[in-house]
Amino acid sequence: MPDDASISVGKREQTKVQNRLAILDAAREVFGELGYETATVRDIIRRTGLAAGTFYNYYRSKEEVFAALADDGARRFAPILKALRSKGNFDTFVREAIVAYFEFMADEHITWAARRPAGEPHIHVQGETPEMAAVFAEVKDAIEDAIQRGHGPASDSEYMAAACIAVAREVGDKMLMRRPIDTAAAADFAVDMILNGLNGLRGAEV
């Protein structure tokens, strides 16, 4: 049987995990509602209900919190996206990447919402969260890589990536506002918008 010392250590570790989750969840809301530039550490601390000293035991600034959220989102989604880069057909790659991204967004949103205290009204996070920023950066790199390998339209890769990101960003945000969240319908719409637009580019060679 575990002794009192090991039980105490286990409780401390559990408390650390819970506090870190509380800070990251609060930051996700605050960054989304107020915007990264406007948000302050004080805003995040107020949302957590933790003491200021507790916050600074984990993070020294809002920049560190943002980085933690971005790193976590990118770390978990990057392997999914990179596994799709080997797809030879550009249309297939775009479709599977969008589907994977929307499913990732929905899972993140559901997991976050489930951790909110029972009875509290649902708050939809407006704007770009750090996870979204990190994931879209990965999507942009993957699209440009596919184009460089000759699997995409012969057009301006930066504009193409920006257009794909914009469509996925806006459709994904609206998807999270609807109940039930329908990732399949959102993905079908976004993919049709992206591919029909790309295939209509002058000189496209898909």
Model pLDDT for residues 60-86, shown as the tens digit of each residue: 999 899 888 877 777 777 778 778 776
Model pLDDT for residues 39-52, shown as the tens digit of each residue: 999 999 999 989 99
113 in Cβ contact with 104 (< 8 Å): no
Number of folded domains that form the chain: 1
Model pLDDT for residues 152-195, shown as the tens digit of each residue: 666 677 777 778 878 888 898 889 888 899 999 999 999 988 88
| Domain presence at residue 56 | yes
Q: What is the pTM of this model?
A: 0.63
Indicate which CATH number applies to the domain containing 144. Answer: 1.10.357.10
| Domain presence at residue 204 | no
| Domain presence at residue 205 | no
Ordered DSSP codes for 11-71: HHHHHHHHHHHHHHHHHHHHHHHH-TTT--HHHHHHHHT--HHHHHHH-SSHHHHHHHHHH
Model pLDDT for residues 92-129, shown as the tens digit of each residue: 888 888 898 898 888 877 776 665 555 454 454 555 56
| Domain presence at residue 116 | yes
Instruction: State percent of the chain over pLDDT 90.
Output: 19
Residue 85 domain boundaries: 4-199
The mean-pLDDT minimum among 10-19, 41-50, 82-91, 194-203 falls in 194-203
Q: How confident is the model at residue 7 (pLDDT cuts 50, 70, 90)?
A: low
Task: Report d(CA 192, CA 195) in Å as an integer.
Answer: 5
At 38, give phi and psi (nearest 5°): -80, -35
21 in Cβ contact with 115 (< 8 Å): yes
| Domain presence at residue 180 | yes
- Which residue in this structure is represented by tokens 């996870």? 131
| Domain presence at residue 206 | no
